[in-house]
Every structure is written in structure tokens, then in C-alpha cells.
Structure 1
């Protein structure tokens, strides 16, 4: 019984001494703790102030909203990190700072391997924002996707297709693969394929087509239309009409092509020029043709009865 009482007393004394030591250490560290809290508050306000200043100043240097937002965020994070390290130093936690730096390096290396695709898209987005091969509102074709750019993010390019679908194309694929920007030039050439019968006068066909294409709205007069005969096809002589139009949206291209088809069809009808149907010739051997003819005669005889 005496042993149990002695052990309990020793335990209470040990806990009491530990609590007293903690309280004394807290009292000693109280000024540093107050300074650390004040320093942390000042750091947060300073980081926000620097971020606002960067947001106002960067548009004077760079017109890329994506890059400006990225730099302002990075400046905010850097100021916070510096302030946090100072706070830990005030609290005499220098070893903790070293451990944090080592831990950040190891975690960063692990995350780099785990999220290398995301990192590649992020870096590609930065390069795209700096080089600016296209802008919001441009009509482009990349990775078999065609449409208008709605937004350029640090990870994806948001592409609205003419049929309405929104495609998020990863920046890495946009950066690595070929890209056509239809909005770089304000004009686009329309290529229209057609065919006429072998009995047609090709000189007349050329004149009729060139006259008909003049009826297309918004035709670029500085670029003369062209008619090029391309092939002796199975049932027609084919040609290609080429003409230029002002281009901002895909509807400009589709409307011009539709108007050209309507105008050429009307002009061919008035000039008596034939657009032939595909023709297939069927050769039937004599041994097969006779039973077919007999069956036809029997069917006709049944109808007459």
C-alpha cells in the first residue's frame, strides 16, 4: 500500500513539475509569441498589398491576363513564405524551418513525378501566354478540333466548336501539335468542286461560273476568282472554283459556299449546261439476259390477262 502511494505521489510530482516548466517556458516565450503573431498579421497584409500593386502595375508591361494573374499570385505566396520563416525564427524554431525546406523539396520532387502531365500543361500554358500564337475569339483548328477560343487557361484552351460543344484542349497538346489560326488573316479562300457533262463547252463553263460567282455577297474583288479543271471523271469533267471572302466566323465561309452553289446552279440551268448524275453501265451475259427477258414477257402477259 505504501509503494502504491509513493508511486502515485511521484507521478503527480512529475506531472506538476512538467506543467510548471511549460508555464515558465510559455511566460519566457510570451513576448516572442506576441511579436510572432504581430509579424504574421503584418505579413498577410503586406502580401495582399504587394499582390494588389502587382495586379495594377503588370498590365502596363504585359497584356496577358493569365500571366499577370499568375505573377501576382506567385508574389503573394512568396511574401507569405518569407513572413512565415521569420515568424518561425522569432519563435526559435530554426530547425523547424530547415525541416520544412527539406520536406518541401522532397514533396515537390514526388509531386513532380506524380503530376508531370499537369506540370507540362501548366508550363505549356505559360509559354502560350507569353508567345500569344492566338487570342480569345480567334478561330483555330488543333488536334482535330475546330472552333472559337472562349478562354485561355494555364491548363487548357477552351474551344467552342461550330456545333456548340465546348472542348477543353490540354495546353501541352496545343503547344506540341500543329495549329491553324484562321483569324490571323482577315480573308479565307473558298474551294468549291463541281462537274459538267462531257458534251459541255469548257470555255463557256468557265465564263458562266466566273460570272455567277460575282453574285456571292462580300466577295473580295482584289483577289480574282479562279476556275481550274481538275479531272476526267467517270461521268463528268470536274473543276474547282476558288474565290476569297472576308472571314471572321465560320458562318461567313459556309454562307459564301452556299451562295456560290445556288448561283452556279441557276446560271447552269439558264445556259443549258448539264451537271450529270453518276452513270453506271451494267453488262449482262447473253445466257443470263434470255431468262430475264422471258420472265419479263410472262409478267407482262399476266398483267394483260
Structure 2
């Protein structure tokens, strides 16, 4: 039995020594391919960036080029080791393999194909502020399977590409301009044209509020509510930086309007009127006031 084990071991050792040079060559080839793929990514990034102003498309194509080179190096390494039959079988059964892999990894394949479509035809660019479902933030990068979005509270959300392709995506910055609005409730005795002019004056004092056509601000009587006349203020601003250029500007404008209206003599900002009705058969309510003032200290 020992002789048989020794013979088997000697046979495998001989085969290993025969294959060892091929293994070394294949390992060196894979190392070279891996380094070359990193260099290729940098090269493609530089060349594509020079001919394209689209960083998302550039990043996506460089990733695809890199992984294609790695896959080609892996197949060549298998060929060098002597697994030519395996390589031929992989290439020959590509159709069946693609079907089986596509069925087994349906979500991955779906997200990859969605990424290809988004790379060439998509509703956003890098640094655009978008909202998809309940997620809102700035687009940072497009990967093979996901798109990374940085929320305004510092979170990184990786949204599957298929979701971006299927769901409605709201882009707040693609046009470069965005309109904001808010309500102001004034009392019925106030002179509406005077109030509108006062609010317009505050809008003109904000340099970031656009004043030219077709983005000039305007104010309308929106609603005659129970206790107030509700005015709706509309104004436009540039949306390159959504958080600072839109949200903070809206806050400043609202604070300006509140300050000037509260300082006016003939304008008030009344609260909602609440009417209370009691049933006729409700027993009479009586309020008893109890004096709980502390008793005076007796003189000594």
C-alpha cells in the first residue's frame, strides 16, 4: 500500500513539475494584466475626458474596458496552463452559459444592462440633485451595478441602476433654474396691493433671486381662507447648488417677508380662527375661581 501511495504521489509530483512553469507564466500574466488594467483605466479616463464632457459616461466606459481586459487575461492564463478544453467549452457554450448565468443572476444582469443604458441616455449628470422614490441627494458616480447618491445629511445611498431606469426620477438642477414658492397669510383689512409691493421689494433685495424674463418673481392672491387672505409668492433662482442656492435662499426670503410685514402698522399675520360649538342640551358650565394667594404673615 505504501508503494502504491508513493507511486501516486510521484506521478502527481511529476505532473506538478511539468505544469509548474505554465503556472508561473500564468501567474505573471495575470499580475501584468491586473496592473495593465489599472493603467488602461487611467489612460482611457484621460483620453475620454479630453473628448467628452460627461464624467459619468467616461467612468462607466473605463470600468467596462478594465474588466474586459481582466477577463481576456484570465482566459489566456487558462489557455497557457493547459485548460484549452475548458476555454473552448466556455467560448463554445457561450449562448447556453449566458442564458444560465442571466437566469441565475437576473438582478445583476438587469442592473448592468440598465447601467449601460443610463451611461448613454440618462436623466442626470454628476453633481445633479435628484430624487428617486424617497431618496434625494447629489449624484456622485455611476457604477456597473449601482449609482451612488450623496444625501444632504451626508449619507451614501447606492441605488440599483434598474430602479433609476424604471422609476420616475426628479432632477432639480438639470435645467439650471428652479422655482420656489411659499404662502403668506394676511388679515382681511390689509391693503393687498401694498403688501404685494412690500414683498416684491424684499425679493428685489436678494441678489440670488432672478428678476428678468422669463424668471421674474410674482405674487398672487392664492386663497381666501377663514381668517386670512393667503398670498402665494413665486420666485426663481439658479439651481447649480440645490441645498445652498435654493433651500437657504428660500429661508432668507421668508424671513425677510416676515420681518417687513410684522413691522408694518397696517398689516397683521393673524392666527387661524377656531370656532367652538356646543350642543343645546349640554349642561350649563360654571367656573369657580379659588383664590390661592398666600396668607399674610401675622405681625410679631
Structure 2 length-normalised TM: 0.75
Residues 222-244 of structure 1: per-residue CA shift (max 9 Å, x gap): 23210011112122121210112
CA distance change for structure 1 residues 195 and 94 in 2, over 3 Å: closer, same or farther?
A: closer
Aligned to 2:231: 239
| Structure number with larger C-alpha Rg | 1
> Is it true that 1:206 corresponds to 2:196 in the alignment?
yes
Contact 1:67 1:130 in 2 (8 A): no
Q: More displaced, 49-58 or 144-153?
A: 49-58
The C-alpha deviation readout for 1:138-189, integer Å capped at 9, x for no partner, is 2111122111223332222222222333322111111211112222233322
Measure, in 1, the Cα distance between the counterparts of 2:162 and 2:261: 50
Equivalences for residues 6-85 of structure 1 within 5 A: 33=19, 36=22, 40=26, 43-44=29-30, 47-48=33-34, 51=37, 54-59=40-45, 60-61=47-48, 63=55, 64-85=58-79
Residue 271 of structure 2 corresponds to residue 277 of structure 1: yes
The residue that corresponds to 1:224 in the other structure is 216
* Cα drift, residue 97 of structure 1: 4.5
Whichever structure has more helix as a proportion of its residues is 1
Distance in 2 (alpha carbons) for counterparts of 1:48 and 1:288: 86
Deviation at 1:104, TM superposition (A): 7.2
Unmatched segments (≥5 aa) in structure 1: 1-7
Residue number in structure 2 paired with 1:194: 184
CA contact under 8 A between 1:151 and 1:159: conserved in structure 2?
yes
CA distance 1:136–1:281, shift in 2 (3 Å): same
- Where does residue 256 of structure 2 map in the other structure? 263
Q: Distance in 2 between matches of 1:55 and 1:158?
A: 20
* 2:150 alignment counterpart: 160
Give the direction of change, closer, same or farther, for the CA distance of 1:52–1:170 in structure 2 (3 Å limit): closer
SS of structure 1 residue aligned to 2:189: coil
Extract unaligned runs of 5+ from structure 2: 50-54, 293-300
1:45–1:261 Cα change, 3 Å: closer
Tell me, in whole angstroms, the C-alpha distance in 1 between the residues paired with 2:216 and 2:84. 77
* 3-state SS of 1:274 partner: coil
Give the length in aligned residue pairs: 278
Are the counterparts in 2 of residues 215 and 263 from structure 1 also a CA contact under 8 Å?
Answer: no
- What root-mean-square deviation, in Å, do the aligned CA atoms of Structure 1 and Structure 2 show? 3.7
The equivalent position to 1:253 in structure 2, one of 246, 249, 257, is: 246
Q: Cα distance, 1:51 vs. partner? A: 3.0
- Deviation of residue 136 (structure 1)? 3.1
Structure 1 position 56, deviation (Å)? 4.7
Cα-to-partner distance string for 1:66-99 (whole Å, 9 max, x where unaligned): 32022122123113313423542xxxx6555555
TM-score scaled by structure 1?
0.74
- Alpha-carbon separation, structure 2, partners of 1:144 and 1:177: 11
1:81 and 1:199, CA in 2 relative to 1: closer, same or farther beyond 3 A? same
SS in 2 for 1:239: strand
Cα contact 2:78–2:87 (8 A) shared by 1: no
